[in-house]
Amino acid sequence: MRARGFHGFAHPFDRLLLMLSLPFLDAPPRFLFFTGKGGVGKTSLACATAVHLVGQGKRVLLTSTDPASNVGQVFNATVGNVVTPVPGIPGLDALEIDPQQAADAYRAAIIDPVRDLLPAAEISAMTEQLSGACTTEIASFNEFTSLLDDETATAAYDHILFDTAPTGHTVRLLQLPGEWTTYLSDGKGDVSCLGPVAGLDRLRHDYAGALAALTDPTRTRLVLVTRPQRSSIREAARTFDELRELGMTNAHLVVNGVMPQYAAADAADDVLVDAVTGREREALDAIPADLAVLPRTTIPLLAFNTVGVPSLRALLDPDATPAAPASDEIASLPDGLTSLRDLVDDLEADGHGLVMCMGKGGVGKTTVAAAVALELASRGHEVLLTTTDPAAHLSETLQAEVEHLTVERIDPEQAIIEYRERVMAGKGNALDDAGRAVLAEDLKSPCTDEVAVFQQFSHVVFRARKQFVVLDTAPTGHTLLLLDATGSYHREITRQMSEGARFVTPLMRLQDQSQTKVVIVTLPETTPVLEAQELQDDLARAGITPWAWVVNASLTASAPTSSFLRARAHAEADPLARVNELCRRVAVMPLLAREPVGTAALSELTRPAMEGTLTDAH
């Protein structure tokens, strides 16, 4: 048996590819939750699974709760906040839940009944308190609770697929203690998650049913989607650990986008194919034990974007692979893009300031932050390189001490401990035993966890007045929404702190580009760019404008000689053009033949252009 190759010619697939098996679809339960980092392909996989199941005669509802959802784009159809039949695929309906729209409706449901009963100042305070991450997540989950709990409403479907599972943060919020409502009504105090809890208490029975469905292995399967990359695999392991502790134990692992062996068939002297294949093999050999024991499906990288039904079918069925466009022509970068070194030249002009590298996990924020910090230090500037990302490994990335460069880490666990102790010693002293018990429970909430880390972050912002501070931020939307609701953060600190305590709210410094340069890092792929655009929109609501974008791991910038990789490079054209539209300052970094680990490799990312092209530099 032979399959069509990456540019229309017949190439023999390796044996494993020909015998592609799909363990994650063996006897699938009614609910399938696809989760993973941005860019791993979970939306494509969810859509392909829906098409696959419909092809077996099943009725399927595909639901997305991802803020950057592109389900409609994948199907070349308009999908919105109502259940919509997917054109050309009888038996498949789709629904894209808009988290912001859901949050607006959730806010209104809580505030409207008391709008005429309370003073305007209290209504304003409630509105802002309901503008954070907790409300957005709970509102989104509230939208599809009925899909999990109301059998009557979904009786027409054999399977319901969710693109993006609820995070451990959401599930913990659903488990908040019910006695908080009584404590609030008695006027004894307040809690950090007041807004979400106020709405949850009305529907606690419904949520209990939803949680029962999530944790029932006969009804729900968690599909952990990863790429064959260390950072992506680490994120899958972290997600599984968190959700497993909360009772979601029925999990399968899907390794997506593995370089197919046939890609090297006409690679000539292209070292990139072998290098990527070697890195993937090392990452999979080192897979954590908890993931290694899960049923695993391996899906090969395709030479084209999975957009449209034929491509979706090909993702799970090699025999259905359509011919990709001819790849003899070399893809080129859009005009106006720059290099990482050029960005550092501009950063250096102010002599100090905060550089915040932001973006989803797995896009290369740590690499970009380390390279920028290293280059600034090599020019004689005092630089602090730090992170709020619990999964970051700055020391492993640098692998050496560097003159003028200090490496630190904001330890979330330590920050939370110190914050809880400080609040209990301050605000807690004025409460009776019952009040202290509830305050202690409040301080276990994920909302206050993030406030604790954000408070540490504010001290880092303060230090940037006199030196360069390069911050590798955590890949979480919760912290970003705290920036959006800095007023809520300010009031939270005021409420929790003892009277007279001093604190700094950093929003004004973040809004001033002479003090703070926000650099959004992404990949040249559809979903990561959409997620980065969503991040830019979130920051805009807080009055923060990104200073630059960095597109990492671009095949176009690498100029590969392999026909397979050239075809992949052509697929970057639309994402790169979109990034060029979204920001006036964009740097592109090539996909590297060797990982940018260690000071020598990191320094190559900012070497002068005259010393070599993007291709021969790596």
Query: Cα separation of 389 and 409, whole Å?
Result: 8
- Residues 590, 333 contacting (CB under 8 angstroms): no
Query: Cα separation of 314 and 309, whole Å?
Result: 9
Active-site entry in 66, 93, 163, 449: 66
Active-site entry in 527, 556, 558, 599: 527
Active-site entry in 5, 38, 43, 149: 43
Q: Is 44 designated active site?
A: yes
- Residues 224, 234 contacting (CB under 8 angstroms): no
The number of C-alpha atoms within 13 Å of 359 and in the hemisphere containing its C-beta is: 29
DSSP per residue over 504-568, as a string? ---HHHHH-TTTEEEEEEE-SSHHHHHHHHHHHHHHHHTT---SEEEEEEEHHHH---SHHHHHH
Q: Is 66 designated active site?
A: yes
Q: Is 39 designated active site?
A: yes
Place of tokens 């049913």: 209
Q: Is 42 designated active site?
A: yes
Which amino acid would we find at residue 431? L
Query: Cα separation of 167 and 361, whole Å?
Result: 14
Active-site entry in 41, 199, 257, 359: 41
**Local structure of residue 11 (DSSP, 8 states):** E
Active-site entry in 36, 39, 361, 428: 39
The dihedral through the CA atoms of 211, 212, 213, 218 has a sign that is positive
User: Among the residues of 67-150, which ranges form H helices?
Assistant: 71-74, 99-111, 120-129, 133-149
Active-site entry in 5, 35, 38, 42: 42
Query: Cα separation of 420 and 226, whole Å?
Result: 35
Residues in the chain: 618
Q: Is 209 designated active site?
A: no
Place of tokens 């966890």: 449
Q: Is 91 designated active site?
A: no
Active-site entry in 35, 44, 131, 558: 44
Q: Is 387 designated active site?
A: no
Query: Cα separation of 154 and 572, whole Å?
Result: 38
Q: φ and ψ at 15, to 5 degrees?
A: -60, -40
Which residues are designated catalytic? 39, 41-44, 66, 527
